Amino acid sequence: MRCRLFIIFFGLLAAIPLHGQSNLKVRGLGFLKDRNLQSRLAFLHDVEPKKAAKLDAALLEDSAFLLLEQMKRRGYEQPVIEGRFRVGETIESFQWENPYAIQLDVDFRADHAEFIIEPGVLSYYSSVTVEGIEEIVALETKKVERFFIPGGVLFSGKQSRIFTMENLDRRVGRLLRALDDLGYRAARVVDQQVDADESSGAVAVRLVVEPGRLHKVGEVTVEIDREGRADAREVRLPENVILTRDWEQAQRVELRNAAYRAGYPDARLFSEVVSDVEAEGNVMRRNLRFRVEYGEKVQLAGVEFRGDPDTERSVLKRQAKLKSGEVLDLIGVNAAQRKLMGLGIFQEVGLRFEPANGERRTAVYELTPSQRKELQLRAGWGSYEQARLGFRWEHRNPWGRAHRYEVEVKQSLKSTLGDVTYSVPQIFGTDLSAYLNADYSSREELSFDRTARSVAAGTSLQFAESGLRLSTEYRLSKETADRDNTSVFQSQENATVASVILRAAIDRRNDFLAPSSGYSLFASFKVASELLGGNVDFQKLEFGGSYHFAISESTLVHIGLRGGTIVSSADAATNIPFNERFFLGGENSVRGYVEGGAAPLDANRDEIGAESYILGNLEIEQRLFRQFSLVAFVDGVANSPSGTLGSDSEGLYSAGMGLRYTTPVGPLRLEYGHNLNPRDSDPDGTLHFSIGFPF
């Protein structure tokens, strides 16, 4: 049946017609780069990519010029563009290079155009030397070099070190901004030398930087002018505060926000240097004055929402939480704008006031709807499930109340999943979201088949600043396990589970798809009881986290730790459902085993799952190139088939290596895990091919 579903799915894809044919082609850089430039030309000329364009002289000349400029931006200083144009039955050729010169007559027309690119020699940074800032401890030699030559990999190819005068200027600007952030406000480049080898493309850059004096904050005076009354005060600061643009900006924001909250939206802030005082060494202390002119106090006359008539105004007003007659708190008005965007149904929320001036003003929010209906096709691969195909349908704001529903279907060679979720964001104007969910899953495990049908209702709360997410859920599910042999190990195989689940998670990783620094933590606690409507009683706890850090520019360490336990105050055999047990192993846990293969076994060598486990993962990732990495790993799990970890627990360990290729949807992984202490029925190891970071 599942194979038949795959055939139908691929048949539907094959039946999608590809109408039209472009008559504007690019060649010479390889398939993907050619397609990229071809798409750029179509976009810039406002031509549909798969339709024939009107190839007049202006379009063809512009295309040649754009291709030359694109090649220069990619580091090819002397590209040559050959245009081969079919006019009727004849082919005419033209050539463009730097400096650009017009080649076509004004009345020239073509039926088909092909641009062939000869890029020439690639210019790349071979070395960068920066002199004059050696004494600035915070800027080590390697850090300075990284402003110009990217690091983070073992081997840096020419493509990652492309040189152009434009990117040199940008990178010099970044270096000067970094010096400014360290307090060297007058840093400047006093000499710049660029030596280029035209035959190889190697470019050696030498810069001489004069950092100037280190600036620190001296005396700070704040003057407040409110409704004709002036007040001045001196601000006491800690000693030796470095004067940076960020520090100045923080002072401005604090002073301006105080005026905004008090109802003065027209407040203006001025700052000036009162005097500079030389201190010991190479230090300059700068005395500053901040002046805030509050202007007139303003009252909020009302709130209006314009655009998107399909959304109920009562919903929008509940989110904004602004009341007519109160002072116009610009901070609160802007916060309301962000909350409206947080509904997830608008592409943009603009804000203006009517009238723009005066003692009473109306806040007007201009609403631009986002795409309300979206269908996404999904595809993936896992070593156990192999090919995964499916789709996700989302409908936002179906009833005009900012609700949404999602339908997700996945099919693999081992499993079927259907999931429907209806969610209500920011209920009652709070940051709390609520949802209803129904799902069905069927999956072939190694020694049994599992099926689950469930319905749930829950709420969740996201704290944006900390990254903490809390949720609580009531779930009622029918869980069935179909085992071939139940005589050796007895368990509840047909259960109605009614439970309350509490979850907490915090993610402080720099990138959840392919993290290189930061950490994540999670915990979930599930209480199932007959009092909640089921026929089993148990408690299930899972917790874990990961930590990621670098030990060199190109070498990363990833550490994962996870654990869980299931307990019951009644008879475990009749109260702990077989489907709720823990089945470790696979591409994301112990990689010497297939998915579920590292679980405890019964006397027949069938997997029976664990009631408690502790899983540890350690990886060392060596980045070879920008997108390729070599990984060495050790995985280990301690399992207990009954109760907590104790005398009946067993440990299984794997070690291995793998290759990873970074993609926009996560790393593409090819890994082999070798089992260090396999049981009699265990494999020596397992080869995994999968997509996504393992933990």
Buried-state track 568-603, b at ≥16 Cβ within 10 A, e below 16: beeebeebbbbbbbbbbbbbbbbbbbbbbbbbbbbe
Locus of tokens 């000693």: 239
What mean pLDDT, rounded, does the chain reach? Answer: 91
Q: Which amino acid is at 407?
A: V
pLDDT tens readout for residues 289-321: 999 999 999 999 999 999 999 999 999 999 899
Q: Would 214-293 and 299-369 be classified into the same CATH topology?
A: yes
Residue 420 has pLDDT above 50, yes or no: yes
H/E element, 412: strand 404-412
The answer to whether the beta carbons of residues 93 and 83 sit under 8 Å apart is yes
Which residue stretches of 85-188 are H helix? 141-145, 165-181
Residue 4 has pLDDT above 80, yes or no: no
Please tell me the class of the 124-210 domain. Answer: alpha beta
Please tell me the class of the 214-293 domain. Answer: alpha beta
Q: Is CATH 2.40.160.50 what the domain over 445-691 is classified as, yes or no?
A: yes
DSSP designation for 260: H
CA dihedral of residues 292, 295, 296, 302 (deg, nearest 10): -80
Q: Is the peptide bond before 211 cis (omega within 30 degrees of 0)?
A: no
- Amino acid 485: pLDDT: 81
Residue 5 has pLDDT above 50, yes or no: no
The answer to whether the beta carbons of residues 474 and 499 sit under 8 Å apart is yes
The mean pLDDT value for 246-254 works out to: 94
Confidence of residue 181 (pLDDT cuts 50, 70, 90): very high
Q: What is the spatial distance between Cα 563 and Cα 612, in angstroms, rounded to a whole number?
A: 7
Instruction: Annotate 424-453 with DSSP letters as a single string.
Output: ESSGGGSSEEEEEEEEEEEEE-SSEEEEEE
Of the two residues 151 and 301, the one the predictor is more confident about is 301
Least confident of 8-17, 417-426, 570-579: 8-17
SS (H, E, C) 528-588: ECHHHCCCCCEEEEEEEEEEEEECCCCEEEEEEEEEEEEECCCCHHHHCEHHHCECCCCCC
The percent of residues above 70 in pLDDT, for the chain, comes to 97
Confidence of residue 17 (pLDDT cuts 50, 70, 90): very low
CATH number of 299-369: 3.10.20.310
Least confident of 20-24, 137-141, 454-458: 20-24
pLDDT tens readout for residues 551-597: 998 999 999 999 999 999 999 999 999 999 999 999 999 999 999 99
**Phi, psi at residue 119, to the nearest 5°?**
-70, -30
Confidence of residue 21 (pLDDT cuts 50, 70, 90): low
CA torsion through residues 249, 252, 257, 263, sign: negative
Q: What is the spatial distance between Cα 361 and Cα 365, in angstroms, rounded to a whole number?
A: 13
Taking CB atoms within 8 Å and a gap of at least 24, the contacts of 331-336 are 331/257, 331/260, 331/261, 332/261, 333/300, 333/363, 336/363, 336/365
pLDDT tens readout for residues 499-514: 999 999 999 999 989 9
CA torsion through residues 384, 385, 386, 388, sign: negative
Whole-number CA gyration radius for the chain: 32
pLDDT tens readout for residues 597-621: 999 999 889 999 999 999 999 999 9
Cross-strand pairs, 375: 393
Q: Which amino acid is at 508?
A: R
The answer to whether the beta carbons of residues 214 and 137 sit under 8 Å apart is no
Tally of CB atoms within 10 A around 143: 13
pTM: 0.82
Q: If we measure between CA atoms, which residue out of 400, 397, 347, 391 comes closest to residue 372?
A: 397
- Amino acid 653: pLDDT: 97
Least confident of 205-219, 294-308, 640-654: 640-654
The structure tokens listed for 300 are 């909020």
Q: What is the spatial distance between Cα 444 and Cα 451, in angstroms, rounded to a whole number?
A: 9
Residue 62 has pLDDT above 60, yes or no: yes
- Amino acid 3: pLDDT: 45
Residue 230 has pLDDT above 90, yes or no: no
Show me where the domains of the chain are located: 24-118, 124-210, 214-293, 299-369, 371-379+386-444, 445-691
Q: What is the spatial distance between Cα 272 and Cα 245, in angstroms, rounded to a whole number?
A: 13
- Amino acid 53: pLDDT: 84
Q: Which amino acid is at 208?
A: V
- Amino acid 120: pLDDT: 94
